[in-house]
A and B are shown apart, each in its own frame.
Chain A
Amino acid sequence: MTNLAIYIIRRLLWMIPVLFFVIVITFGLMHLAPGGPWDREGRQLSPQVVNNLNVKYGLDKPLPQQFLTYIWGVVHFDFGDSLKSPGQHVSDRILQSWPYTFTLGAVAFILLVPIGIGLGVIAALRQNSLLDYTALGLATAAASTPNFVVGIFLIIVFALGMNKLTDGNFYFPTGGMPQPFNPFQVELIMPVITLAALPTAYIARLTRSSTLDTLRQDFVRTAWAKGLKSRLVVMRHVLKNSLIPVVTALGPTFAFLITGSFITETLFSIPGIGRAFVTSIAGRDYTMILGTTILFAVLIALVNLVVDVLYVFIDPRVRLTD
């Protein structure tokens, strides 16, 4: 086996103890939080019904036993039933909502990489020009505007405003996920912009400063001096080197995008995992909280692994060792 394959297998095996600790910590915090799945505002369940519900879902057992039962289930890929949706497995609940979030996040990512990097490189190459200032201005504005402001702004202008202006002939829908769902539907435009605005700005700024750094390096000066064409200098020498920090940042950005945003999903009525996660925490849906946390932990670990492997190809100095 090659070094790379061994490295990947090792890293994957390391995920097991990581996941175990994620479960331990989540399980502990979750049960430390006051209130339980049967607490609610307003009308209360009778104590008898609460007892019976606890029996039904095994919550009457001592916590260590509940924990071991859960771990035993996880080993068998059984994440239990959602406490708030009787008769439905947590894994099914997650599969109902994660595809929406993943699609939204992936579309946003596919758009933000070329736009963010492109803006950053152009701004750096034309430093202190009008182009640079415009790109930098846009990026600063996007980076400092919270996504609920972006989202509401888009809804007011492109949905309600245009609807009124054109008397209902041309306007954007305020989101939602018509069936059958596809990644090219018009409903995705506004949520994608809302979700991608901040990371795009972040990537653009990072690319710009990293590119500026690289441009000042000796080897770039050498490349210019030996009379290479500017395209070659930029593509072969500048870009390849300045992208290393950007790739590092793209990993977490991708993980952030595909784990969902409560605000974007709520504003645009997307039944995604971000909303489901927040709802399950507020409702103390223990099994859903754990299941979603495990999914997020796996996703983030995998994305980090991919980034580390990508380094090998981008930066020949990197050797994969433990």
Chain B
Amino acid sequence: MHLGVSIRAAALATAGVFAAVACGGGTSSTGVNPASPDKQILRVNVDTEPGTLDPTQQQWVYEANVGRNMFEALVTPKADLSDVQPGAASSWTVSSDGLTWTFKIRSGEVYSDGTAVTASDFVRSYKRILDPTVAAPYESYFEAIKGASAYSSVDAKNSTAVKTFLDGLGVAAPDAQTFVITLANAAPWFKWVTSLWLAAPIKQADVDAGGATFGAVTADAVGKLHGNGPFMLGEVVPKDHITLVPNPKFRTQPKLQKVILLYIPDGNVEFAKFQNGELDITRGVPNPDVPTVLNDPKLSKQVLRGPTLLNWWLDFNTTRPPLNNADLRLALAKSIDRDSYIKNIRHGIGTPSTYFIPNGERGYEPSDIQKYDCTAAKALLAKAKAAGVTDAQLAGLHYEYGASSARKPTAEFFQQQWQQCLGLNVIVDAAESQTHSRNLKTSVHNYWISGVSGWQADYPDGQDWMDIFTTGGGNNFPVWSNKQYDDLVNKGDNAPKQADRDAAYSQAQKILEQEAPVMFLYQDEKFLLVSSKVKGWQRSALDDDWIGDVATATSMYIAA
């Protein structure tokens, strides 16, 4: 029943320049006094219970919500998403060849029990991310580190091989305050990786004491897991909620005294709870209820709308005839009226997109290549037919989606549009979601057209997007391969000068749009409800859920 949450690439967070655009009436913070400390309780829905409290093993937004409040990485994104700013590190330098990154740990940086955070804690936690026996989901982001690309060839069952691999990684702590990362290639985007919440220092004593149960989401974890973030665990009730309380050792004390993270997976239940005053911030609004909310005098004042770096598209299986024909793919892409889709199916939530890197991030370029144009689409279809695409092949096209009632209108919309513009009868299949995921896998790719896939920025750098469609990429569901695209992306990923990177990514995006292994559909928009008593929330496009970076978490409060 939830829309738009199936693609849960965990996002980073930051306070934002976008906040001005983002904040609805309910979050303006001018001239309102905070309520007394005992009333500083924020109740938020995070959708699902985190699988683990160990940041290294976290991967979903509902896990990052906990992780990034309890832990702080070396750096955090700046408010305007232009760069990173000091976090657990007070300063850093990059060598002229772009390979050696030296971070200075903030003096006085401590865990919630007062133990000092040292550079060797970072060495260990970076190694833990790349430890094959830990099998951290975000491992691939750290393969830019020298020696780390051998990750895939290490046998997790061979402890000697694992140790040799970990010892050979380019991470070191020459002294307690200095953490040095050596990269294999100059990768200017790596600063963003060091800002990921999971790249946080972990107290070795906690890991040792916890053993196999380290990070387990049990009542037992309270007081045994020490982070360096603004909050710490106050209470863990498995399957029901986690309560965070201020970390007394953090450099800026939050105003909120309790943050209760509830697990309500169903959007309709969440909506009912908000209306009944049992919840302060929702994750969204069930799409069919959007008009109700906008027309309700009370609810409409508590709406928060804002940009988000989440882009949605359809995948075409480029290995299967007739979809191996690029003209046919572009014809399919150009025969969908996205304005009508947003208006009629999405109730006005989101912006039509015919571009890859989303609006609000460096590298965004509006493009007309995939724009709705039925005449052009018909011409492209004719061209494809001239090149050997047969009617029999076209009659066998299937559109498959992960079954849910919320996605059905979308599937029917595409079916109708392709029929209307191109006269194609695309068969719609609703597959059980786990089966659908398996069919999409690049090793299986058992589908024709699949919808709807998307990506949410981990960090505002083009690399996070452009790498998706490189040859052999694990998220390259269309199994598309284009040498020119690969070369341009490789250039953009490793060029030291930002202007060169921008140019390479720009060219690569045009190839992607023209070759159309995917059909861009819309860029999402956050539409959620925030109780009018919640103040001081600054949201950026990078934020997915209630929380932003450290500054935001500490600035939120409940008004009197």
Contacts and interface: CB of A to CB of B under 8 A. Distances in A.
Interface of A: 33-36, 39-49, 51-53, 55-56, 81, 84-88, 92-93, 96-97, 152, 155, 159-160, 163, 168, 171, 173-174, 176-177, 179, 266-269, 271, 276, 282-284
Contacts of A87: 52, 210, 212-216
Contacts of B238: 93, 96-97, 271
Given A41-B436, A87-B214, A168 B9 contact: no
Contact of B269 (A43, A84, A168, A269): A269
B218 interface: yes
A266 B135 contact: no
Contact of B277 (A152, A155, A168): A168
Interface in B120-172: 132-137, 139-140, 151-152, 156-157
Interface of B: 6-9, 49, 51-52, 54, 57, 132-137, 139-140, 151-152, 156-157, 210, 212-218, 237-240, 262-266, 268-269, 272-273, 275-278, 402, 432-443, 453-455, 474-475
Contact of A56 (B133, B265, B435, B442): B133
Given A35-B434, A43-B7, A159-B276, A269 B264 contact: yes
7 contacts: A44-B442, A46-B152, A55-B135, A86-B52, A97-B238, A179-B240, A271-B263
Contacts of B240: 176-177, 179, 271
Nearest to B402: A41
B272 A159 contact: yes
B438 A34 contact: yes
B277 to A, nearest CB: 6
Given A39-B441, A43-B475, A87-B215, A33 B434 contact: yes
Given A42-B8, A55-B157, A84 B51 contact: yes
Contacts of A56: 133, 135, 156
A88 B217 contact: yes
Contact of A85 (B9, B151, B217, B439): B217
A271 B275 contact: no
B435 A160 contact: no
A53 to B, nearest CB: 5
Contacts of A155: 272
A53 B9 contact: no
Given A39-B441, A87-B52, A160 B137 contact: no
A80 B134 CA distance: 18
A53 B157 CA distance: 11
A271 B157 CA distance: 36
A86 B216 contact: yes
A282 B434 contact: yes
A286 B134 CA distance: 19
Contacts of A271: 238-240, 263
B383 to A, nearest CB: 33
B438 A39 contact: yes
Contacts of B432: 34
A52 B8 CA distance: 22
Contacts of B239: 96-97, 271, 276
A56 B217 CA distance: 19
B532 to A, nearest CB: 14
Contact of B272 (A41, A55, A174, A283): A174
Contact of A49 (B139, B268, B441): B139
A92 B218 contact: yes
A51 B156 contact: yes
A59 B273 CA distance: 40
Nearest to B446: A34
A176 B275 contact: no
Nearest to A152: B268
Contact of B140 (A35, A46, A268): A46
Contact of A47 (B214, B443, B454): B443
Contacts of A171: 276
The 10 lowest CB-CB distance pairs between A and B, nearest first, are A271-B239, A87-B216, A35-B434, A42-B7, A52-B135, A87-B213, A48-B152, A96-B238, A35-B438, A34-B435
A45 B435 contact: no
B437 A40 contact: yes
Contact of B278 (A85, A176, A283): A176
Given A42-B453, A87-B210, A96-B239, 18 more contacts: A33-B434, A35-B434, A39-B434, A44-B441, A46-B152, A48-B152, A49-B139, A55-B157, A87-B216, A159-B276, A174-B276, A177-B240, A267-B269, A269-B263, A271-B239, A271-B240, A276-B239, A282-B433
A43 B57 contact: no
Given A87-B214, A266-B265, A45 B137 contact: yes
Contacts of B263: 269, 271
A52 B132 contact: yes
B161 to A, nearest CB: 12
B216 A174 contact: no
A266 B278 contact: no
Contacts of B139: 46, 48-49
B276 A86 contact: no
A110 B438 CA distance: 45
A35 B439 CA distance: 8
Contacts of B439: 34
B474 A45 contact: yes
Given A87-B213, A173-B276, A35 B269 contact: no
A36 B435 CA distance: 9
Contacts of B273: 174, 269
A266 B213 contact: no
B390 to A, nearest CB: 30
Contacts of A284: 434
Contacts of B136: 49
A266 B474 contact: no
Contacts of B7: 41-43
Nearest to A263: B266
Given A43-B9, A96-B239, A269-B262, A88 B216 contact: yes
Contact of B135 (A41, A49, A174, A283): A49
B362 to A, nearest CB: 21
A258 to B, nearest CB: 17
B55 to A, nearest CB: 13
B169 to A, nearest CB: 15
A160 B156 contact: no
A267 B52 CA distance: 25
Contacts of A84: 51
Nearest to B277: A168
Contact of B9 (A36, A42, A51): A42
A171 to B, nearest CB: 7
A283 B442 CA distance: 20
Contacts of B437: 35, 39-41
Contact of B433 (A41, A49, A266): A41
A88 B213 CA distance: 7
Nearest to B262: A269
Contacts of B151: 48
Contacts of B157: 55
A84 B58 CA distance: 11
A122 B218 CA distance: 50
Nearest to A176: B278
B536 to A, nearest CB: 24
A174 B269 contact: yes
Contact of A53 (B52, B135, B438): B135
Contact of A174 (B278, B402, B454): B278
B43 to A, nearest CB: 11
A266 B269 contact: yes
Given A155-B272, A179-B237, A267 B266 contact: yes
A46 B474 contact: yes
